[in-house]
Structure 1
Amino acid sequence: MRCPFCSSEDTQVKDSRQAEDNTAVRRRRQCGKCAGRFTTFERVQLRELMVIKKSGRRTPFDRDKLARSVLISLQKRPVEPERIEQMISGVVRQLEAGGTSDIQSDRIGQLVMEGLSNLDKIAYVRYASVYKDFKETDDFASFITDERLGSEDE
């Protein structure tokens, strides 16, 4: 593993433990050259996933990009980090178990919407506003009415 500080390949694992609901291994490492410490995560990858964008362009699936978009929608929401990580891992597992390496970007959005719907309704609406490209406040009102997110569900 290359050191992110000095690019040396002389790094040692100092500690390993299970992380993220036992779906990853967290390793604390230290560089032998600059003594910098950093953490890596090791996950099982069933297949190399490719995302097919609406434009037809293909890009490698990026779990971190997915996590960033989910975290933006959950910003300042009272949701435990473990539950967020479980939701993200669940989306990734569904994508990997889908039987194909090529995934439409819409499919990823649908899975995230389902996960957020069960996790936090405000984050669900926030994500939907970007995913469904809301243009006006009426778009929010229509979505909330259509999804029956009104006060009767809370």
Structure 2
Amino acid sequence: MFGISFSELLLVGLVALLVLGPERLPGAARTAGLWVGRLKRSFNAIKAEVEREIGADEIRRQLHNEHIMSLEQEARKILNPMQQAINPAPAQPQPSAATIETPPPPAGADLGRDSHTAQPGHAPAAGQPIPEQVPGEHTPPHDPTQPPRAP
């Protein structure tokens, strides 16, 4: 403990025997042993108390951190609806014409016709754009019983 070797202890024992004498040496050794035991117990008690305090400080720190974390979560819950009101969520994207699937033509339909162009008097197919009429442009009427005209 203090770096005392066996030879040094033997030398201290011989000096104590010469100074105290053989009658008082056992009582002195007993008393010294009791004092050493008390010092060890005191140091161990102090050490345990310091470790408990360090542990208690650590526990207090953890509780404090948990309390702060719970406060932050509550603040986020309160602020989240406010932020959503300030920054509304983006609207759902509209599907493009390329993503709209057109249904197959009904049975018996004229497949020779161009299905992407609307005929006058006919509604365009689902998902097809409505052609714009240019003023002054004349589109001749189409008779479904006649074959399509050549350009």
Normalised-by-shorter TM-score class: under 0.3
**When the two structures are superposed, what TM-score results if normalisation uses the length of structure 2?**
0.19
Decide which structure has the larger Cα Rg and report it.
2
Structure with the larger RCO, 1 or 2 (CA within 8 Å, 6+ apart): 1
**When the two structures are superposed, what TM-score results if normalisation uses the length of structure 1?**
0.19
Which protein is richer in helix relative to its size? 2
